[in-house]
Amino acid sequence: VLSGCGVYDGTEIHEASAILVHLSRGGAEVQMYAPDVPQMHVVDHSKGQPAEAESRNVLVESARIARGKIANLAKLTTADHDAVIFPGGFGAAKNLSTFAVDGKDCKVNREVERVLKDFHKAGKPIGLCCISPVLAAKVLSGAEVTVGHEEEEGGKWPYAGTAGAIKELGGKHCVKEAVFSLIPSHEAHVDTKNKVVTTPAFMCETELHNIFDGIGAMVKNVLKLTGK
């Protein structure tokens, strides 16, 4: 499930690409979705600032990552899929929810909330990375998720405050590493009760291959939980 195209106002492209590579390697068939709604705002990524008087559509922008093969999120059903995965990027906190503005008092897009609740009720796994675990924390009370560490540690974890917000949302935060480890639990957290799998990804300032490997651990565990 995508949230636009670009880290500051949509889906983090490296994360989406990594997820797709690992799903492909795992033999999964993939269908991409996005809500047909306006973006909260448009950010000029060369300046890191909002572009005034410009508007874009989340579904239309997400189609860039999907190479045009994308559907309206309203069409996503549990009957057609074994699992659902949400990449990160600020679009998850701006377009799929209002977390970027409202924090613990945020609202989640109606279709996103429906999808999360439907997959949870059906006992089908949900994967999330980077900032997107806040969606599960908000919608699935008591879900265990990770966004990495709970302290900034000199800038290594610049978004560490999100861990506290997850607790305020009603979720349980578990400290995990973003870097590759021989111990899979150091990369992704698996909430076996709720079948929610999360990994920090770009919540950490680390090398790209570490993020790629951490996402791989998340995808591997999601596929494992499908039982196929």
The catalytic site residues sit at 130
Tokens of 176: 């995990």
Q: What is the dihedral of CA 11, 101, 136, 110, to 10 degrees?
A: -80
Strand segments, DSSP code E, in 135-200 are 144-148, 172-175, 189-191, 196-199
Q: Which of left, alpha, beta for 168 (phi over 0: left; psi -120 to 50: alpha)? A: alpha
Nearest to 169 by CA among 203, 196, 201, 135: 135
Nearest to 41 by CA among 29, 27, 52: 52
Taking CA 213 as the corner, what is the angle to CA 211 and CA 215, rounded to the nearest 5 degrees? 70
Nearest-Å Rg of the Cα atoms of the chain is 16
Tokens of 76: 């996503």
Give phi and psi for 168, each to the nearest 5: -70, -30
